């Protein structure tokens, strides 16, 4: 249950208590005034002690019911205790009305405090019956010509009160339905937001695993296989491959630990994006692939989300170049513009056909070699997460250029 719903219920309870207090106070005032009128004008009819006891009994029953049989909240079913109190106080009033017609107006608080809590199909007949008793009492106690107000005023007042109460009950019921609908809608939105957040987090985790662990493991596999092939013929080169694989393991371990702590790339911990890209170019340079880094424009501060996304995209692009492009040279270019920063990774490899994307094949048709077909979609998501865009331009046998553009306000 939301905070707004709780506050609404608290306010409704306060209104209920306020209305009950007003109704109870009005009843006691009218009871006292009708008793004073009886003593002042009707005591000549006798039975003063009996009528006084009836007045006292009605007051005691009413107060006891208000204390120990309170009315249910609006919209709730009346309890048996409350229904018993309502029957008792109505019976006391009917008996009193037979002896003292001045008790007529005590009916109004009883109508508000009692029957309106009942279902409409029960409250309306009960109210009509009590109103009819009031009219009969007025006619019985009238002297001389019949006053039209005795016949018309009580039904008119009762009709207005009943109409107002029925409208309030229906309005309250509609409000409860509306609030329930709003609560259900908010819960549905919360579930959708949780699902979207879960999906986004899964995509982030998959991208991190691909960039940090999968690429490192692929490089280690290549180096160790090369070392195995050269071990008997060129031990020096084999040891160099093993040393390179060990360095990759150490970097992967650092990245994995920072990934667990939800930190950015290790290369950006103490360095700028330019320094990290230059270090990446040095690490990725091998006898078969020469990687260089260039920086253009007025160098400025790059926001951390952009730096992290750009470095990961560069790592993924160079992994694709190393494994698939059969290139001899790759160039990383970081261009600082007035309102954006552009990262280009170009190679002179075999390229690919227009529209080619790296999409993993269906699960049932995958092979171990296909597990690396995740790079381009992950790079696109990284670019979007930092507010940027990713563009791939490639021509068969003429190389590939991958361009990521980020706004400096990211």
Phi/psi class of residue 169: alpha, beta or left (left: φ > 0; alpha: ψ in -120 to 50)? alpha
Q: What is the pLDDT of residue 341?
A: 93
Write out the two tokens for 112.
Answer: 């508000």
DSSP class of 101 = G
Q: What is the pLDDT of residue 332?
A: 95
DSSP code string of 339-391 = SEEEEEEEE-S----TT----PPPGGG--GGGGGTTHHHHHHHHHHHTT-EEE
What's the chain's length in residues? 410
Q: What is the pLDDT of residue 266?
A: 67
Quick one: CATH architecture of 271-410? 2-Layer Sandwich (3.30)
Helix pair 80-99, 48-68: axis angle to 10 deg: 160
Cα(311)–Cα(281) distance, rounded to whole angstroms? Answer: 11
Residue 296: phi and psi, rounded to 5, are -130, 160
375-393: b (≥16 Cβ within 10 Å) or e = bbbbbbbbbebbbbebebe
Q: What is the pLDDT of residue 261?
A: 58
Q: What is the pLDDT of residue 389?
A: 93
Across the chain, which has 410 residues, the per-10-residue mean pLDDT values are 58 74 82 84 71 89 81 68 82 83 73 63 75 73 59 75 74 81 84 78 70 74 84 85 82 70 66 90 88 90 88 88 87 92 92 53 39 66 89 88 86
The model's pTM is: 0.43
Q: What residue spans in the chain does CATH classification 3.30.565.10 cover?
A: 271-410
Cα(323)–Cα(366) distance, rounded to whole angstroms? Answer: 18
């Amino acid at each position: 249950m939301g905070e707004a719903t709780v506050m609404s219920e608290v306010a409704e309870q306060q209104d209920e208590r306020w209305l009950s207090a007003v109704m109870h106070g009005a009843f006691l005032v009218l009871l006292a005034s009708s008793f004073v009128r009886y003593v002042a004008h009707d005591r000549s009819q006798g039975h003063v002690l009996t009528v006084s006891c009836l007045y006292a009994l009605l007051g005691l029953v009413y107060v006891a019911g208000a204390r120990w049989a309170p009315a249910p909240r609006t919209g709730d079913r009346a309890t048996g205790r409350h229904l018993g109190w309502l029957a008792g106080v109505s019976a006391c009033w009917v008996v009193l009305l037979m002896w003292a017609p001045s008790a007529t107006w005590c009916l109004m608080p009883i109508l508000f405090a009692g029957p309106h809590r009942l279902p409409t199909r029960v409250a309306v007949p009960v109210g009509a019956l009590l109103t009819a008793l009031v009219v009969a009492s007025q006619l019985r106690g009238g002297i001389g010509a019949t006053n039209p107000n005795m016949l018309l005023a009580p039904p008119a007042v009762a009709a207005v009160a009943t109409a107002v109460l029925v409208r309030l009950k229906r309005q309250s019921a509609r409000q409860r339905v509306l609030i329930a609908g709003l609560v259900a809608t908010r819960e549905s939105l919360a579930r959708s937001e949780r699902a979207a957040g879960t999906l986004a987090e899964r995509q982030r985790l998959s991208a991190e695993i691909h960039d940090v662990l999968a690429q490192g493991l692929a490089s280690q596999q290549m180096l160790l296989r090369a070392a195995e092939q050269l071990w008997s013929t060129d031990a020096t080169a084999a040891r160099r491959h093993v040393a390179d694989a060990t360095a990759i393991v150490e970097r992967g371990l650092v990245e994995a630990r920072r990934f667990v702590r939800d930190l950015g790339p290790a290369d950006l911990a103490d360095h700028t994006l330019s320094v990290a890209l230059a270090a990446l170019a040095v690490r990725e340079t091998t006898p078969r692939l020469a990687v260089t880094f260039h920086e253009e424009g007025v160098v400025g501060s790059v926001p951390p989300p952009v730096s992290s996304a750009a470095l990961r995209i560069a790592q993924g692009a160079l992994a694709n170049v190393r494994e698939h492009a059969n290139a001899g040279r790759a160039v990383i270019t970081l261009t600082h513009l007035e309102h954006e920063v552009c990262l280009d990774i170009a190679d002179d490899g075999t390229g690919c056909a227009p529209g080619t994307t790296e999409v993993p094949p269906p699960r049932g048709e995958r092979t171990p070699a296909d597990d690396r077909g995740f790079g381009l979609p992950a790079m696109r998501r990284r670019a979007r997460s930092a507010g940027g865009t990713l563009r791939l331009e490639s021509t068969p046998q003429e190389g590939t250029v991958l361009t990521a553009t980020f706004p400096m306000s990211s």
